[in-house]
Amino acid sequence: MKEIIMIVKPEKLETIKSILDKLNCGGMTISTVMGCGTQKGVVGETGVNQIRGYNTTINLLPKVQISIVVKDNKVEDIISEVRENVATDKVGDGKIFIRNMEDAVRIRTGERGDKAL
């Protein structure tokens, strides 16, 4: 099993949900996050951003983080579909992180591993 974490622009969320549904991926967890990568965020005209009313020089952009756990054989299909449908070839498209998932347990039944997905 693998955990896939995708950090993307909020407007791409529906596209990714459709991709995951099409590929019969089970559940997902979605969080609203703020961050910056290579893009370094967008700076206002004064060179200062406001976050919750406070001036800051940290340039953070709103993003969505999507976490899923899938069988190993689905990882490359998900990556291909996301890249094909989400990439704009511009800085800020996001990132995909993949890590090994040791085990999963369905609380209701006690099923483990791939059966718990």
Q: Give the whole-angstrom CA distance, residue 70 versus residue 80.
A: 15
Q: How many residues does the chain have?
A: 117
- State the Cα–Cα distance between residues 31 and 18, nearest whole angstrom: 17
The CATH number covering residue 26 comes to: 3.30.70.120
For residue 90, the SS3 value is coil
Which residue in the block uniquely carries the two structure tokens 């085990």? 103
Model pTM above 0.85: no
Query: How many domains in the chain?
Result: 1
Q: What is the pLDDT of residue 56?
A: 60
- B/e letters for 3-24, b = 16+ CB within 10 Å, e = fewer, are bbebbbbeebbeebeebbeeee
One-letter amino acid of 18? S
pLDDT at residue number 52: 61
Q: What pLDDT does residue 45 have?
A: 53
Section 50-67 average pLDDT: 76
**Which domain does 107 fall in, by range?**
2-41+49-116
